[in-house]
Structure 1
Amino acid sequence: MLGMGNMRQWLMNISLVGGWFPAAAFAVIAVLSVTLLVSAAVSKRDGRILATVLPIGVAAVSGMVGYVVAWLLSDVFVVFGVGLGSRVMSWVAAGFAIVHIVLSRGMMRVAAAILTVFAILAAAIGIDQSYGEYATIGSLFGEDSYSQADLTGLAKRKDLITVAQWRKQAANGTIRNIPANGTVNKIDIPATKSQFEARKALVYLPPAALADSKRKPALPVVLMLSGQPGSPGRVFQAGGIQTMMDGYAKTHDGLAPIVIAADQLGADSHNTLCVDSKVYGNALTYLTQDVVDWVKTNLPAAQDAKDWAIAGFSQGATCSLQIGVNHPDLFGTMIPTDSEIKPTNGSRQEMIDRFFDGDTTAYENQVPVNAIRNHAPTHQMLIIGAGEKDTTSIRNVKTIAPVAAKAGMRVAAVESSGNAHDWHAVQDVLRYGLAVFGHDTGLDGANPNLSDYPNLKRITI
């Protein structure tokens, strides 16, 4: 028997993106829908064929209406600011169709009530699977299975060797006992300079950082930012960070970047614009000084900007562009997915007044294309992408990427086939970005070819 604690942990770890739970919900929907339709047909003495066909036909029409409504809100009026994508709109359509079935006359009340509950549940699961936002039931409540760790002083600068030295020693068998997988831990990064009220960060340490060896490699670092609403835990769960990095390490002698998911928001409801302000505090100083300094001081991390990347999704992607471009001394590579064209929290004038004390120039310097022009020429690397069905973000890529290329950046602009404004697109772009960043930082001697990533297409700029 499971104890209460174990039962709760089991419940919180149930997957929403695969496995038995979503399959069971979809199966219940199918069985009850068929049952209710058959019940409606046999409950009438006359016109049984019509009684069977008519509810199905009207349900189909209801589903079409649902799809059109979602399409209008998403792609025509752009109510949500981004495209929902066909998968999400299809789930809305399914919900409309099932609601019609439930409301049809002559249905068995108990079965209809159960179907209503499961229809809402299944539609929610389907939409979540489309976005890839919540991986488990626990993630809905901000819970995760990552343990707290104190990594202060994990590595001493004098003991670090280069990645090239590590690869050479691994090849000749000098380094042994490299773990099969890396670790992910929650950490407290002191907001010494910023006093920003950040939530706990998450850090991925690859196997090379954990090997039974005094001389550890000075590893490249990726600073990863969530969307808004979002959290460091969401980055790792929805982004599949540990699986991706462990997979990379398995073919690279335990080498992979250190990944830090730091909190640029302070709370799900906050949009700090990733700047220092009186509204939500000094988010920019926290990221660029407190976080960067702590990582360089305490972890086996490389020190040079060319070995650091900043990446993010949606609002976090916009932040990664703002911060990366404005701080070429810290970041040599940027990997934004589904970026906005500019920081957005209210109208332009509202942002200028609230976050920049009325300083228009200060706000304009945070707009990615302006920041790029302000720092030209620059030789940073930009891997920028978006979901194919997120037309707004694709348009943003086509606006930002040419400006970056003109400024001297090396630019790879890509779209994720079949995906929209979601974490599936993030995983596609980040996987390719990891290969490019790994080559640039010496983790891999081979120059990656986009053709090896079949779900990505190059965007012409």
Structure 2
Amino acid sequence: MGYQRGLSLLDGWLPWTVQALVAIAFLVVLVPLLWSRRRVRGRWLRLGAVVVLGVAGAFAALGVFSGSGLASDPAPVLLWVWVGITVGAVVAVVVAWGPAPWWRRGLSVLVVPLSVVCVAVVANQWVGYVTTVQEGWSELDAGPLPDQVDAAALPSMIGHPRSTGAVVQVSIPADASGFAHRDEDVWLPPAWFAAGPRPVLPAIMMIGGEFNTPGDWIRVGNAVGTADAYAAAHGGTAPVLVFADAGGTFNNDTECVDGPRGNAAAHLTRDVVPYVEHSFGVSSDPRAWGVVGWSMGGTCAVDLAVMHPELFDSFDDIAGDAGPEVGTKQQTIDRLYGGDAAAWAANDPATVLAGHAPYADTAGRFDDSSDTGGGFGGRPGGARPGGRPPGSFHPPGGYGNGANSGIGGRGGGGANGQELPAARQLCAQARTRAIACTVVTQPGRHSWQFATTAFQLVLPWMADRVEHPGVAASAA
């Protein structure tokens, strides 16, 4: 696809060449520890310090990661290898400094940041966040998004036919929520620019993963390319896409709830929706609004739909969790809700569904991987220490469940053995409340490439739903 053209950072020669060169440089740094003229005991002590501390650093990082609640999908072993090499490289700067010539000393210092680069390369291969060098440069350079235009130019564009839509960046006031957030993006289909009265179009809110920017669905998930293709096949008509900021900052995992990390839910429902309706003339009929989310955003999508049927009539949960989670149940209550267990229950979709009357017209879809997953540390099905057993699902009242919060596009999310059974059980419960629901599977890992394909598959169904309010609810 066009957005993936360029020098690949996920496969091919580049990521492996970088790692091979850095590994060779690290070995060169270690040469004085192997063949130093100093006494044997001294050089083996120095080499042992590099190895032991490097291995200890790798296991320490693994332990912190395992207990953090960031992911239940196991990271590749190579990631921890490079973490260990990075720690070992830092130690080598100290212990190899004396017996090495100046150029090897310089190399020992250089290997440290290069090892960090290798950690980033492997992590990126795991999660599929930046697919090409060109895409990564665009992220760093903050270049324009595909189809991006200046919001001030919109009035002059009305009445001029377009073959593609247009992306505008907007600063949405947070008067209702007080949520500190970044600028957000709105994609307008070609039909929005038609001459004459402005059409009243439907809208789909797009929510990314945990470590995110509002533009991730555009830059990485190719959502604009997908929407442009859909509009081209439907006479320029398509839903308006709203790329919302659910985090406020890159590393703020709100899970789209209100709490100590910010009033993210209030921002999405009370700031973003009214602003888009007023500023772009989209429909205020909840049947004309859908929400699509990936990883953490998938959890947000189903949660928003079951909690706010007055705003969203359709949802697609792509590889989300069973509910907002940032560790165990108690950790989630403490971190997301400031210790308020009632707030946890009020935002848990299973609990909400259990106490809700039948929904009038809501329909939803869960997109999950059909892959079985290899498990964490050899544990079948992705089970982790302290984590929810594969296929388990907390009842409406809840109980202690595991670290299944997901990194939302930067990796993580529930392991395949956990996400799919949870989706099936949540979908089954939704059907008992008259929500038309289906679970769709496809091969793939918890990566942005999986999310991209899922959105390509779901857009026709959701567009048909929101473009024809009043049609009987049906699942994809």
Equivalence for 1:297: 278
Which whole-Å CA distance do the structure 1 matches of 2:332 and 2:9 have between them? 43
User: What runs of 5+ residues in structure 2 fail to find an aligned partner?
Assistant: 28-54, 93-102, 374-414
The answer on 1:396 being equivalent to 2:392 is: no
> Where in structure 2 are the equivalents of 1:61-140 lying within 5 Å?
82-84=71-73, 88-89=76-77, 121=117, 124-134=120-130, 136-138=135-137
C-alpha separation in 2, matches of 1:180 and 1:448: 31
**How far did residue 358 of structure 1 move?**
5.4
Letter in 2 for 1:317: G
Deviation of 1:442 after TM superposition, in Å, equals 4.0
- Find out whether 1:183 has 2:166 as its counterpart: yes
Q: 1:310 to 1:81 in 2, by over 3 A?
A: same
Q: Is the 8 A contact 1:154 1:299 kept in 2?
A: no
C-alpha distance 17-33 of structure 1, shift in aligned 2 (>3 A): farther
The residue that corresponds to 1:200 in the other structure is: 183
Task: Compare relative contact order (CA 8 Å, sep 6+) and give the higher one, 1 or 2.
Answer: 2
Once the two structures are overlaid, the 10-residue window that deviates more, 17-26 or 367-376, is 17-26
Equivalence for 1:222: 204
Q: CA deviation at 1:257?
A: 1.7
Equivalence for 2:388: none
Separation of aligned partners in 2, 1:195 and 1:36: 49
Partners of 1:358 and 1:26 in 2: CA distance: 45
**TM-score, normalising length: structure 2:** 0.65
Closer, same or farther: CA 291–34 of 1 in aligned 2, 3 Å:
closer
Does the CA contact (< 8 Å) of 2:303 and 2:349 recur in 1?
yes
1:419 is matched by which residue type in structure 2? R
Q: CA separation of 1:205/1:315 partners in 2, compared to 1, >3 Å: closer, same or farther?
A: same
State the shift of 1:344 in Å: 2.1
Query: Matched residues in 1 for 2:219 and 2:110: separation?
Result: 31
C-alpha separation between the residues in 1 aligned to 2:433 and 2:137? 44
With over 3 angstroms needed to count, the CA separation of the structure-2 counterparts of 1:93 and 1:243, relative to structure 1, is: farther
* CA RMSD, 1 decimal: 4.7
Counting aligned pairs with the same residue, the percent is 23
Partner of residue 240, structure 1? 222
SS at match of 2:347: coil
Rounded Cα–Cα distance in structure 2 between residues aligned with 1:92 and 1:256: 44
1:190-229 CA-partner distances (Å, limit 9, x unpaired): 1122222111111111222234x12343222111112112
Q: What SS class does the counterpart of residue 218 from structure 1 fall into?
A: coil
Change (3 A) 1:218 1:132: farther
Q: Is residue 414 from structure 1 mapped to residue 413 from structure 2 by the alignment? A: no
**Equivalent position SS for 2:215:** helix
Q: Which residue of 1 aligns with 2:32?
A: none
Letter in 1 for 2:128: G
Partner of 1:309: 290
Instruction: Check conservation: 1:153, 1:299, Cα contact below 8 A.
Output: no
Question: SS at the partner of 1:441?
Answer: helix
Q: What is the one-letter code of the residue matched to 2:320? A: S
Give the secondary structure class of the aligned counterpart of 2:212.
coil
Correspondence for 2:464: 439
| Equivalent residue pairs, number | 387
Q: Give the TM-score normalised by the residue count of structure 1.
A: 0.67
Cα gap change, 1:80/1:18 in structure 2, threshold over 3 Å: closer, same or farther? Answer: farther
Q: Secondary structure at the match of 1:186?
A: strand
CA contact (8 A) 2:365 2:475 kept: no
CA contact (8 A) 1:439 1:448 kept: no
The equivalent of 1:270 in structure 2 is 252
Please state whether the residue corresponding to 1:383 is helix, strand or coil. Answer: strand
CA distance in structure 2 between the aligned counterparts of 1:305 and 1:152, rounded to whole angstroms: 29
Q: Deviations along 1:161-184, whole A, 9 cap, x unmatched?
A: xxxxxxxxxxxxxxx953121122
Aligned 8 A contact 2:299 2:317 in 1: yes
CA deviation profile, 1:364-422 (whole Å, cap 9, x unmatched)? 021111122233412311111223343222232123121112222111212230322x2
1:323 counterpart letter in structure 2:
L
Map 1:377-396 → 2, pairs under 5 A? 377-378=358-359, 379-387=361-369, 388=371, 389=373, 390-391=415-416, 392-396=418-422
* Counterparts of residues 300-379 of structure 1 (less than 5 Å): 300-345=281-326, 347-349=328-330, 351-352=332-333, 356=337, 359-378=340-359, 379=361
TM-superposed CA distance for 1:318, in Å, is: 1.6
Shift of 1:311: 1.6
- Give the secondary structure class of the aligned counterpart of 1:384: strand
Aligned counterparts of 2:251 and 2:450: Cα–Cα separation in 1: 23
8 Å Cα contact 1:352/1:363 also seen in 2: yes
SS in 2 for 1:232: coil
Tell me which residue corresponds to 2:40: none
Give deviations 1:219-241, integer Å, cap 9, x for gaps: 22111112112120223222111
Aligned match of 2:234: 252
CA contact (8 A) 2:239 2:467 kept: no
Aligned letter for 1:410? A
Query: Unaligned regions of 5+ residues in structure 1, if any?
Result: 1-14, 38-64, 160-175, 451-461
Paired letter, 1:394: L
Paired residue type of 1:269: N
Distance 1:329 1:128 in 2: 39
Q: What SS class does the counterpart of residue 315 from structure 2 fall into?
A: strand
Query: Counterpart of 1:367 in structure 2: which amino acid?
Result: D
Contact 1:74–1:84, Cα closer than 8 Å, also in 2:
no
SS in 2 for 1:365: helix
Letter in 2 for 1:184: V
Deviation at 1:437, TM superposition (A): 0.8
1:185 offset after TM fit, Å? 2.2
For the 8 Å contact 2:69–2:327, the answer to whether it is kept is no
Q: Spell out, residue by residue over 1:292-329, the C-alpha distance to the aligned partner (whole angstroms, 9 max, x if none).
A: 11111111412211111112122222222221111101
Query: Deviation string for 1:226-285 (max 9, x for gaps)?
Result: 2112120223222111111111112111122211111122112323342333x2333222
Contact 2:160 2:193 in 1 (8 A): no
**2:450 paired residue number:** 425
